[in-house]
Structure 1
């Protein structure tokens, strides 16, 4: 059975264990074993940096163990995806793992950003004065091949169809 590392900010949900179990059940429904970051047993160290490094290393080990990575790229604490998830996607890609992602809002980047920042419909710069990329993609161009679905279930269906 192929394993899927479940990258995303779901570990920050009010009940992250339940969120992880739900994602793992979805994986099982499609014939995969889900690996959720909170599956790791982490020692509580005397310093938060040591605990953070233990969590980081355990997640890296799970990504190495996984056959596939599925990432939740929904906005997290702002407009962009969770930076930890983005790191995990890049790490998995560097290892040559197949990565698939989902995001509920897959409108093109300019439309998403203009709505989020309440900009004019033809604005070419965001509020910070930076240009708004326009490649007919919902996310940064580095995710060109990655964002394939609106939600986890649809993403798993996509993965299952590609691997069968």
Structure 2
């Protein structure tokens, strides 16, 4: 069983330690971790090609979908999730807390959301998706979303995958 670990974790200052811990956590469950750091590419095109190849080789994608540099998940991670789904691969995303997307946007903006004609609006007057899902529906509907971290995502993998 191979799992591609998508997420902004590759930008952490302790990324090598994180990768070591993630590999050990996966191995304890009989899963081989495929981590974007595994390649040796250094150019944008090379890194992209390596990550795409790892997603293709994976049986499942485990994605850190916590907010990154804003109220939304990392854009690269979102792309990887979409690519994996297009390939028919199961995706399990994880978030630290069970709040709604609208609540996350409000907290990030430091403002109360307002109502207008049944729509929830942000501080700029733009509609905020308000289905009670933890993420935008394009992530929360096709992916299984769990609260917690990588360990909870591993535990949520379908049996016999």
- TM norm structure 2: 0.89
- Partners of 1:106 and 1:150 within 8 A in 2: no
- Partners of 1:100 and 1:155 within 8 A in 2: yes
The farther-off stretch of 33-42 and 138-147 is 138-147
Tell me the equivalent position of 1:135: 131
Count of equivalent residues: 154
Instruction: Name the CA distance, whole Å, in 2 between partners of 1:149 and 1:26.
Output: 17
Instruction: Name the CA distance, whole Å, in 2 between partners of 1:122 and 1:32.
Output: 45
Q: Give the SS at the match of 1:163.
A: coil
Instruction: Name the CA distance, whole Å, in 1 between partners of 2:103 and 2:8.
Output: 24
**Coordinate RMSD, CA, aligned:** 1.4
Q: CA deviation at 1:122?
A: 4.7
Alignment of 1:14-163 (within 5 A): 14-42=13-41, 44=42, 51-120=43-112, 122-123=114-115, 124-143=120-139, 144-146=141-143, 147-159=145-157, 162-163=158-159
Q: Deviations over 1:4-50 (max 9, x none)?
A: 000000110002121112111111111111110001122x4xxxxxx
- TM norm structure 1: 0.88
Tell me the equivalent position of 2:7: 8
**Per residue, is there more strand in 1 or in 2?**
2
- Partners of 1:9 and 1:72 within 8 A in 2: yes
